[in-house]
Structures are given as C-alpha cells and as structure tokens.
Amino acid sequence: MSYELIGMSMFGGMLLMMLTGQRIFAAIGFVSAIAALFLWGNGGVQMPFSAAFKLFNWYPLLTLPLFIYMGYILSESGIADDLYHMFHVWFGGLKGGLAIGTIALMIVISAMNGLSVAGMAIGATIALPEMLKRGYDKIMITGVVQAGSSLGILIPPSVVLVLYGMIARQPVGKLWLAGAIPGLMMAGLFIIYIAVRCKLQPDLAPALSEEERNLSLSAKLQVLKAGITPFLIFFFMTGLFIMGVTSLVESSAVGATAATIAAIAKRRLNRKVIEATMRKTLGISCMFMWIILAALSFGAVFDGIGAVKSIESLFITNWNLTPWEVLIMMQLSYLLMGTFLDDTAMLVIVAPLYVPLVKVLGFDPVWYGVLYTITCQIAYMTPPFGYNLFLMRAMAPKEISLMDIYRSIIPFVLIMTLALVLVMVFPQIALWLPEYVYSR
Amino acid sequence: MPKFIISYVKYVDYVSTKFGRLSMYLIFLMIGTLLLGAITRNILNFPLSWTVEMAQFTITAYYILGGPYSMQMDDHVRMDLIYGLYSDKTKARIDVFTNIFLLVYLIVLLIGAISSTQYAIEYGQRKFSQWNPSMIPIKIIMTFGIFLMILQTISTFFKDLAKSMGASIT
C-alpha cells in the first residue's frame, strides 16, 4: 500500500467514523491509533500517548480554558446585558439599528475574548430575544449573531491565531495585530450590508417606538458607563501583552482575573454563577483538549508517512500550479473540508500540512495566518458541520429552526468571502499594523 | 439489567463525578499561578521560573481528570448530520457499537501511558528546564485519568445498552 493511499484511507476512515455520530475525538483517536499500529506495529503503540506531551509543550494553549472561563463570567454575570443596553439606546433609532448595535456589541466582546463561543452565547441569549420582540426578521438577525460572534477569533485576542502561531512558529503578538484591521473591516462590511438591506426592505427591521427612543441626553450618557469595563479589560489583557509587560499566557490569566473582579464589583458573582461557569468551562475545555489530543496523534501519523511532501509534490510538480493557484487551492480545499470536518480537528490536522508549503512558496506566514483565520470563520459557519451552527441551535430561542439558521448565514458567508479576497489581494490590510508597531 | 452492572455504573459515575468536580477548581489554580508569575516579575522584580510549567502540569491534570466527568455530562461534540435525525433509542443502539472504537483508542492511550510512566519511574525522569521538576507525578495522574476514562466508557456503554433495550440505569 502506498503512503498516499494510506493517507487517503485514514482521512476517509475518519469521515466515516464521524458520520456514525460517535464523539469526534473518539473517531479521530481511533483512526490514528489503528493506523499507527498498522504502520509501525509495537513501535506505534506509544503514538497516541506521546501526543499528550506534544500538547503539554504547547503551553500557549493555556489561554484556551482561561478565555472560556472569561467568556462565561462575562455572559453569566450580566456584564454583557449592560453593554447590550448601551448599544440598544444609542443605535435603536436607526433602521436596523439593533442589528448594527449587535455587531458593535460583538466587536467589543471579541476584543475581550479569543473565542467565538462567548459572543455566540451573549448574542443568542441577550440580543436575539430583544430583536425578536421588536419584530426584526428572524433570519437576518440569526445571521447577524453568527457572523458577529465569529469576529471573536479574528479581532485580538484570538485562540485560533494562538494555535496557528504554534504550528507556524510565528510570534502571537504579530499575528494578533495582523488580525485587528481585517476584523474591523469585516465588521464594517457587515454593518454596511445591514444598513443597505434595511433601507431597501424597511419591514425587516422596524425602528424603535417613540417612547423607547425618547431618553434624555443625561440618561443616554449614563448608559455609556457600560463601555468602561470592557475597555479596562481589553487594556489589562491585550494592552499589557502588546506592550511586553505580561507574557501571552499571563495576559489571559490577567483577563480572567479582570473579568472576575468586574463581576464582583457589579455584585453579580454569586454561588450559582461560579458553579455554572466552572462546570461549563471544564466541559468545553475538555471537549477541545481531547479533540486536539486525538488530532495531534493523527497529525503525527500523517507526518510519519510524509504527507507534507506528497501534497507539495502533488500541487507543484504534478499539477504544475503557480504559487497563487496553490494558495487559492489550499483555501478552497480548506473551505470544503471545513464543511465536513470538526474545525478544531481540522486546524490541528490540516494546518501543519499547509503551513510549510506556504513558506516554501515564499508567502508571508503572518499574512497567511489571517487568511487562515478568516477561512476558519467561514468554516465555523457552513453546514453540515459548523461548530457555530451547532452552538446556535443549542442557545437560540425555540422559534428559530435549524433551517432558519442555515438560510441566515448565506449573505454573511458571501461577505466574509469578499473580505477573504480583499485580504488576499491587498496583504497590507493585514500587515500594515504589525509592521508599523514592530518597526518602531 | 443485572444488579452488578447497575452498581458498577453507579459506582464509576460517582468516582468520575468526584474527580471531575475536583478538577473544576484547577482553573483557579491556573489563573493564580500565572498571575503570581506576572506580579512577582513586574511589581516585585523577582521572576519565578516555575509558574508557566506549573500551569502546564495543571492544565494536563485538568483535562485528563475532567475527561470522564465531561463524558458523563455528554459535553463532547458529535457530528450529528445523520445521527441527529434518529430517535434516542436508535442513537443508543448505534452508540453501543461505536463506543467500542472509543474503547480501543483509550486502551492504546493507556498502554502508552503505563509504559511511559514505568520509564519515568525507572530512570527518575525530570523535565529539562531551570525548575527541573520530576515527571513522575503528572504521568501517574495521566495514567489514572485515562484508566478512569476507560471505566467511564464502559459505564456509558452499559447505559446505552440499557437505553437501546428501552430500560434505563440511573
């Protein structure tokens, strides 16, 4: 059996195992364990467990449970409610204002957290019910929450870029800065889309009633206070890290502490909140870590059969593609796989195959990190297996069906693809900020 | 279901829950250790070399010991493209079979864990760093956690088996 065939059947076996509905980590782990035993016999038996020490050495992953913890503290303790109220008051008068306000809310949440789960939870439980109550079109706003929350992994801090940084051996600070402008640009595109669409179809998003809008200026200024806490959290976490005061993992601990202190200051931290936060943090962290553990083992087997070399020779020697064609092929295959594969697993399995290729082709790995993250965002949202879709169904109000969720993402996926193309064609969108900061 | 199976499930679920609840608190240990490192270095100008490594050990114990509990709580995602369409009973029937794959993976993990722990004990393995901690404790914890994960998988298997026959063990 040739190595290419082994690689293909491993991939196929994994997909098949996943289709049975067994836990994702079990599907990946089983295929990697069997392949290791088949290829190297007794020598392969160590492989799945060695992955645990590779994981151990990837210490930046410490940011993962800490960001999850922080996200839950922010959503469970009601800090996010005040924030939502702020945007509600300030944007409510516009056509589609609450939807635009929700995108703004998501930008702020993204700046405090490195995952999309936090924004999703906050959007689905706070913003969605409010908008539904006011007669907003459910399909549009479902898309707004999903697209908005996906900004969490592009706007710094970002766990996906941490993972990418480990795989590509690039400084996380540079990667985070590179994600900032593309993230804001994408948010801007979302807002333009919502504004234009609501202008054309005003019945999608009725403006707030007179009495809800008629607040005194002092009352309006009063609610702005809600913005102070997120700003402080952002400063202590990402600010201190970029300034070089705290290391990456320390900064996430600082962020988690800052969020906890904010919750205490608002007198919202009680036994119930702490219990729920700890329980969910453990659950989600275990889910991610076990998938990464299995995927690292899978990746090690792939490495052992020289999969990088065979993909490289397939693209460059056999198909005779130019570097740009290879790049586009990689993004396309990524999107395609993203619709079938679990995203975390895809990250750990596929990224190590592609990143060396990017370097061989002479592209900037920092820039590719941003492309890669945008592709991840799209993959998170595309059916049948989008992690966001799955979470959305669990968290959204009952009247939003799975079909609504599927339909809601279409315009936003198109916008995100546009953003991806823009960053591909104009690399400076991503690279200007890190070059500016690091050249000083 | 025979009585010994019911008491097995009860006992294993109890132990998993206890260790899961215990590891829940490790998140605060991680935050605390990392914060301590940041504070002593920046404010007291006294850098500690061991804080990040300590947090690395903690996160490893966190997800391995928390694994069985998270499985009990059904926190692990599945691809429910087809699976999601079936009734609970059919889901349980499928799981009865596919749990065996999970078990195979965990057993291979356990074999690796045991031989790696034996090696660590035999040669007094230490982590190569300034702090230079022994690797034995974490490896024992990992081996135990994986073993507990196997026990939990068997318990889950029995629960699925019962459910597939229309009964339930709780």
- Burial label for A310, CB within 10 Å (0-12, 13-18, 19+), is middle
H-helix or E-strand containing A274?
A: helix A271-304
Q: Which pTM was predicted?
A: 0.90
Encoded tokens for B95: 């799981």
A33 contacts on B by Cβ (under 8 Å): 104-105, 108-109
Chain B nearest-CA distance from A431, in A, is 29
Predicted confidence (pLDDT) per residue in B53-62, tens digit: 999 999 999 9
Tell if the CB–CB gap between A249 and B31 is shorter than 8 Å.
no
If you compute the radius of gyration of chain B from its CA atoms, what whole number of angstroms results? 20
Which residues contact residue A293 at a Cβ distance below 8 angstroms, ignoring those fewer than 6 apart? Answer: A25, A29, A48, A51, A52, A55, B63
Q: What is the pLDDT of residue A58?
A: 86
Q: What is the pLDDT of residue B170?
A: 66
Tell if the CB–CB gap between A21 and B102 is shorter than 8 Å.
no
Tell if the CB–CB gap between B38 and A246 is shorter than 8 Å.
yes
Residue closest to A83 by CA, chosen among A106, A114, A67, A113: A106
Tell if the CB–CB gap between B91 and A384 is shorter than 8 Å.
no
Nearest residue on chain A to B31, judged by CA atoms? A253
Given a contact cutoff of 8 angstroms between Cβ atoms, the answer to whether A241 and A247 are in contact is yes
Nearest residue on chain B to A386, judged by CA atoms? B79
Digitized pLDDT (tens) for each residue of chain A, 440 residues in all = 677 788 888 888 988 888 888 998 999 999 999 999 999 988 889 999 999 998 998 888 899 999 989 988 887 777 788 888 888 888 877 888 889 999 999 999 898 888 887 888 888 888 888 888 888 888 899 999 999 998 988 998 988 898 899 888 898 889 999 999 999 999 999 999 999 999 898 888 877 766 666 777 887 788 888 888 888 888 888 889 888 899 989 999 999 999 999 889 888 888 888 998 999 899 989 998 999 999 999 988 988 888 777 777 777 777 778 888 888 888 888 888 777 777 777 788 888 888 888 888 889 999 999 999 998 888 878 876 666 777 777 777 878 887 888 888 999 999 999 999 999 999 999 999 999 888 87
| Count of A-B CB contacts under 8 Å | 186
Residue whose structure tokens are 């356990």: B110
How far is residue A223 from each of residues A35, A100, A111, A261, A265, measured CA to CA in Å?
58, 17, 20, 20, 17
Encoded tokens for A190: 């979302």
H-helix or E-strand containing A133?
A: helix A128-133
Of B24, B60, B102, the CB nearest to A56: B60
Residue closest to A9 by CA, chosen among A408, A373, A307: A307
B60 contacts on A by Cβ (under 8 Å): 52, 55-56
Chain A nearest-CA distance from B25, in A, is 7
A29 contacts on B by Cβ (under 8 Å): 102, 105-106, 109
Q: What is the pLDDT of residue A211?
A: 64
**How many whole angstroms separate alpha carbon A296 and alpha carbon A298?**
5
Q: What is the pLDDT of residue A359?
A: 86
Tell if the CB–CB gap between B34 and A283 is shorter than 8 Å.
no
> What's the mean per-residue pLDDT of chain B?
92
Q: How many residues does chain A have?
A: 440
Q: What is the pLDDT of residue A1?
A: 66
Of A65, A249, A294, the CB nearest to B27: A65
Q: What is the pLDDT of residue A210?
A: 65
Encoded tokens for A383: 């059916």
A285 contacts on B by Cβ (under 8 Å): 62-63, 66
Residue whose structure tokens are 């098949």: A16
Q: What is the pLDDT of residue B92?
A: 92
Of A21, A22, A66, the CB nearest to B31: A66
Residue closest to A289 by CA, chosen among A159, A385, A154: A159
Of B24, B79, B108, the CB nearest to A21: B79
Tell if the CB–CB gap between B67 and A290 is shorter than 8 Å.
yes
H-helix or E-strand containing A375?
A: helix A365-381
Predicted confidence (pLDDT) per residue in B97-151, tens digit: 999 999 999 999 999 999 999 999 999 999 888 898 999 999 999 999 999 999 9
A10 contacts on B by Cβ (under 8 Å): none
Tell if the CB–CB gap between B101 and A30 is shorter than 8 Å.
yes
Predicted confidence (pLDDT) per residue in B31-90, tens digit: 999 999 999 999 888 888 899 999 999 999 999 999 999 999 988 878 777 887 889 899
Q: What is the pLDDT of residue A385?
A: 66
